[in-house]
C-alpha cells in the first residue's frame, strides 16, 4: 500500500521547515476504511527537526492532536478537530548484532510489511508471522499488533517516543510500554505519546511457530519441507490474502473486534451448548474466545446494510462497500456486538481506535 499525499518539497524561496501544513484536509485516502473525514489541520512531517519545530509552535499549545500512521487501526466517525500529525520518517537499520541476536531499529513512518520483508530477507527470526498486516511501524506498539500466534511485544526491545506532557524525547523499554492484548501504554495514554522509532530484538535462528491453523498446510502446498522465516511470511501472506479482504480493494481495518476473555465458568457453560466453540487459556481464571466464531454463529458473516457489511471472507472484518461513513460502520459494529451479547452473554470490544465517538 503506497503512502497517500506524500509531503511536497518546500517551495522555491521558502525555508524547508521539515513539515507541510494544510487546513481542512481530506482524510479519505489516509484511512483504510476509506470513510470521509476532514482534519482541521494536517501536518506531514518529514524529519525530526520538522517535528521539533512544529511541536514548539505557540499556536499548538492546548490543541488536540491525532497521530496518524497508515490509518489501518482506526475508524474516523467524524471530522477531526485540532491537528492530525502524519510522520513520514523512514529507515531501517541494524544497530547491534552478535552470532545469535540482531537488533533492528525502524522509523515510525516505515510500512509494517516492508519491515517484515526486510527482516526475513536477511534470514532473521521473529516477525515472520506478522506478514501482510497493514499499517506503519509506529502504530505496531500502540496496538500491540498480533497474528498467527505472535504479538509484536515479544520482540520489542524499546520504543522511542516524544512525551508531549514532559516535552522531551523518551526511550521506553518493553516493560515500561505496558503491553497487553491489543493494547499498550501508548494507546491508554493517547495524546501524550508520539512514537518515533521502534527497536526489535530478532534471532539468527530458532524455532518457527507453525501450529496456527493452516500454516503447515500452506507450506506443504508451497512444497516447502524445511521452512525458513521468508517461507513462513509468504505462506501467511497467502493465507491472509485469501481469508481477508485487501483494504486497497475493499475498505476495512482488518479485525474489528478483539477476541474476548471471559470467566472459565462462562466458557465451560457455552462449550456445553456449543461443543465446537474454540477457546484458549488466558489470564488466571479466564479463557479467550474467538470473536469471529461468535459473530458467525450469530448470523452476521456476509451481512450487508447498504454500503457497509460484514465480510463474507471473515466474520471479524467489517467492510465499506463504497460510500459508507464512519458513523454507518460504527452503527453496524454496535448491532453485531449487541447480537453477540444477547445470544452468548459475551461482550465484544473494538480493536481499532474510534475517532469522534465512544464505543
259-309 pLDDT, tens digit each: 999 999 999 999 999 998 999 998 889 999 999 999 999 999 999 999 999
- Whether 140 is a known active-site residue: answer no
The answer to whether the CB of 177 falls within 8 A of the CB of 159 is yes
Statement: residue 2 has pLDDT above 70:
no
**Residue among 231, 205, 243, 247 at smallest CA distance from 74:** 247
Q: Mark 242-271 as b/e (b = at least 16 C-beta within 10 Å).
A: eebbebeebbbbbbbbbbbbbeeebbeebe
- What's the DSSP call for residue 341? H
pTM of the model: 0.87
DSSP 81-131: EEEEEEE----EEEEEE-SSEEEEEEETTSBHHHHHHHHHHTT-BSSGGGT
Length of the chain: 359
Q: What is the mean pLDDT of residues 173-191?
A: 94
Domain 19-87, architecture per CATH: 2-Layer Sandwich (3.30)
- State the Cα–Cα distance between residues 328 and 176, nearest whole angstrom: 37
Cell numbers placing 86:
502524519
Q: Determine the pLDDT at residue 212.
A: 86
**Residue among 300, 298, 260 at smallest CA distance from 279:** 260
In the CATH hierarchy, which top-level class contains the domain 92-243? alpha beta
Q: Classify residue 199 as left (phi > 0), alpha (psi -120 to 50) or beta.
A: beta
Regarding the domain delimited by 251-355, which CATH topology (the fold level of the hierarchy) does it fall under? 3.90.78
- State the Cα–Cα distance between residues 164 and 192, nearest whole angstrom: 5
The answer to whether the CB of 235 falls within 8 A of the CB of 222 is yes
Statement: residue 8 has pLDDT above 80:
no
- State the Cα–Cα distance between residues 293 and 123, nearest whole angstrom: 35
**Half-sphere exposure for 233 (CA within 13 Å, toward CB):** 24
pLDDT interval class at 61 (50, 70, 90): confident
The answer to whether the CB of 87 falls within 8 A of the CB of 67 is yes
Q: How many other C-beta atoms lie within 10 A of the C-beta of residue 355? A: 20
- State the Cα–Cα distance between residues 248 and 266, nearest whole angstrom: 39
Domain range list for the chain: 19-87, 92-243, 251-355
Q: What is the mean pLDDT of residues 168-175?
A: 96
Q: How many other C-beta atoms lie within 10 A of the C-beta of residue 300? A: 21
Selecting among 30, 111, 117, 182, the annotated active-site residue is 182
Distances from the Cα of 58 to the Cα of 15, 54, 61, 63, 275, angstroms: 19, 9, 6, 10, 61
**Residue among 71, 67, 109, 64 at smallest CA distance from 89:** 109
Q: Determine the pLDDT at residue 15.
A: 54
Q: Determine the pLDDT at residue 1.
A: 28
Q: Which residues are paired to 304 by β-bridges?
A: 309
- What's the DSSP call for residue 7? P
Compare 17 and 179 and report the one with higher pLDDT: 179
The answer to whether the CB of 144 falls within 8 A of the CB of 181 is yes
Q: Please identify which residue in the block is written with the cell numbers 530458532.
A: 206
Q: Please identify which residue in the block is written with the cell numbers 505557540.
A: 58
- State the Cα–Cα distance between residues 195 and 108, nearest whole angstrom: 7
Selecting among 110, 128, 261, 351, the annotated active-site residue is 351
The alpha carbon of 102 is separated from its chain's Cα centroid by a whole number of angstroms, namely 24
Q: Determine the pLDDT at residue 190.
A: 86
Selecting among 86, 230, 255, 311, the annotated active-site residue is 255
- Whether 255 is a known active-site residue: answer yes
Cell numbers placing 109:
513512518
Cell numbers placing 172:
521506553
- State the Cα–Cα distance between residues 12 and 17, nearest whole angstrom: 13
- Whether 204 is a known active-site residue: answer no
Q: What is the mean pLDDT of residues 64-87?
A: 95
Dihedral over alpha carbons 181, 184, 188, 190 (to 10 degrees):
-130
Q: What is the mean pLDDT of residues 93-113?
A: 97
Amino acid at each position: 500500500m503506497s503512502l497517500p499525499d506524500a509531503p511536497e518539497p518546500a517551495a522555491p524561496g521558502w525555508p524547508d521547515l521539515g513539515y507541510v501544513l494544510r487546513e481542512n484536509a481530506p482524510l479519505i485516502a489516509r484511512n483504510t476504511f476509506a470513510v470521509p473525514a476532514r482534519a482541521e489541520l494536517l501536518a506531514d512531517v518529514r524529519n525530526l527537526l520538522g517535528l521539533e519545530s512544529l511541536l514548539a509552535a505557540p499556536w499548538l499549545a492546548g490543541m488536540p492532536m491525532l497521530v496518524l500512521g497508515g490509518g489501518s487501526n482506526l475508524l474516523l466517525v467524524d471530522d477531526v478537530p485540532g491537528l492530525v500529525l502524519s510522520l513520514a520518517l523512514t529507515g531501517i537499520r541494524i544497530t547491534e548484532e552478535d552470532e545469535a541476536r540482531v537488533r533492528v531499529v525502524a522509523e515510525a513512518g516505515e510500512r509494517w510489511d516492508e519491515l517484515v520483508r526486510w527482516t526475513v530477507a536477511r534470514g532473521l527470526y521473529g516477525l515472520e508471522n506478522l506478514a501482510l498486516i497493514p499499517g506503519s511501524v509506529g502504530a505496531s506498539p500502540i496496538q500491540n499488533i498480533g497474528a498467527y500466534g505472535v504479538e509484536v511485544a515479544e520482540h520489542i526491545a524499546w520504543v522511542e517516543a516524544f512525551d508531549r506532557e514532559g516535552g522531551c524525547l523518551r526511550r521506553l523499554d518493553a516493560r515500561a510500554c505496558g503491553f497487553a492484548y491489543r493494547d499498550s501504554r501508548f494507546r491508554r495514554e493517547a495524546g501524550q505519546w508520539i512514537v518515533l522509532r521502534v527497536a526489535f530484538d530478532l534471532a539468527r535462528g530458532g524455532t518457527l511457530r507453525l501450529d496456527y491453523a493452516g500454516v503447515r498446510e500452506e507450506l506443504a502446498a508451497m512444497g516447502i519441507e524445511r521452512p525458513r522465516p521468508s517461507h513462513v511470511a509468504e505462506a501467511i501472506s497467502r493465507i491472509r490474502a485469501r481469508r481477508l479482504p485487501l483494504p486497497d480493494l475493499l475498505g476495512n481495518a482488518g479485525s474489528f473486534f478483539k477476541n474476548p476473555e471471559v470467566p472459565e465458568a462462562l466458557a465451560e457453560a457455552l462449550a456445553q451448548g456449543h461443543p465446537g466453540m474454540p477457546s484458549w487459556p488466558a489470564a488466571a481464571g479466564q479463557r479467550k474466545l474467538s470473536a469471529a466464531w461468535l459473530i458467525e454463529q450469530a448470523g452476521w458473516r456476509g451481512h450487508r446494510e447498504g454500503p457497509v457489511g460484514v465480510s463474507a471472507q471473515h466474520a471479524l472484518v467489517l467492510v465499506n462497500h463504497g460510500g459508507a461513513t464512519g458513523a454507518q460502520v460504527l452503527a453496524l459494529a454496535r448491532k453485531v456486538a449487541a447480537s453477540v451479547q444477547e445470544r452468548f452473554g459475551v461482550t465484544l470490544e473494538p480493536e481499532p481506535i474510534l475517532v469522534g465517538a465512544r464505543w
